[in-house]
Amino acid sequence: MIGIFLIILFITLGIARFAARRYEDALKAGSIHTVPGAQTAAEAAREFLDEMGATKVTIMEHNALITNYYDPKRKCLFLDRAISSGTDAGSWAVALHEAAHATHEGDSAKAFQWRQGNIRLTRYAPTLVALVCLILMVLKRMPATRVMMVCSALCALIMLVNVLSIPVEFNASQRVMAWIEQKLKRHASLIDVFAVILPRIAWRDTGIFLKSPAYFFYGLLPMGGKLRPNQKTPPKK
């Protein structure tokens, strides 16, 4: 029985590694292609948002462990310095993909909120589950085999919920792709590059399962809160 749960755990970790590699490969492939005109990713995101009617969304440079995401509550797109100022296809893909989340409406917006909840779960829950299981083993409150089974099952459930919501990410990449095809219609080879890397960018927040310890312990540190955007201070354009 324990063997089955170990296999489930390995499959869960395998999916997370696959997702992380897809995102890493996208950045690597995109980094060698400079977009004509030397327009930065932040500038491209601003143009995309304006054309999509999301003119009230601001773009803020923010360097921290948690960055490169759209915050619907403050209507702000947070980008780290490297992505924001990048002129390569990889930086564009990340910035535009996250900007596309600002264009969700109706049921699509609700699906995005569900996706955000799943992302937060993936960031913190795996490490919390592992710690609780470890404590139970040390205190001998539960047999080690049962603890491993519970840990494997919960981690697999977290991954399943994340994967079920990933279509929201692919939808965002598809909308960006439609815009790219018009924006770069004179650069067919570059459009092909984006057609490859944008779907891979969509896997990023599934791969963060592997970085759960970093997110979890970072959040416990006093500096963790300081490095996050101030919830009370409105971002500046």
Residue-level pLDDT, tens digit, the chain, 237 residues: 678 888 999 999 999 999 999 999 999 999 999 999 889 999 999 999 999 999 999 999 999 889 999 999 999 999 999 999 999 999 999 999 999 999 988 888 999 999 999 999 999 999 999 999 999 988 888 888 888 899 999 999 999 999 999 999 999 999 999 999 999 999 999 999 999 999 999 999 999 999 999 999 987 776 554 455 554 444 444
Q: In what order do the strands lie in the sheet with 76-79?
A: 58-61, 76-79, 69-71
| DSSP bridge pairs for 59 | 77
The string over 203-230, giving b where at least 16 C-beta atoms fall within 10 Å of a residue's C-beta and e elsewhere, is bbbbbbbebbeebbebeeeeebeeebbe
Round to whole Å and give the CA distance between 4 and 45.
46
Identity of residue 132: V
Length of the chain in terms of residues written: 237
* pTM confidence score: 0.90
Are 58 and 236 in contact, with CB atoms under 8 Å apart? yes
Give the SS3 label for residue 73. coil
The string over 2-37, giving b where at least 16 C-beta atoms fall within 10 Å of a residue's C-beta and e elsewhere, is eeebeebbeebbebbeebbebbeebbebbeebebee
Round to whole Å and give the CA distance between 70 and 218.
20
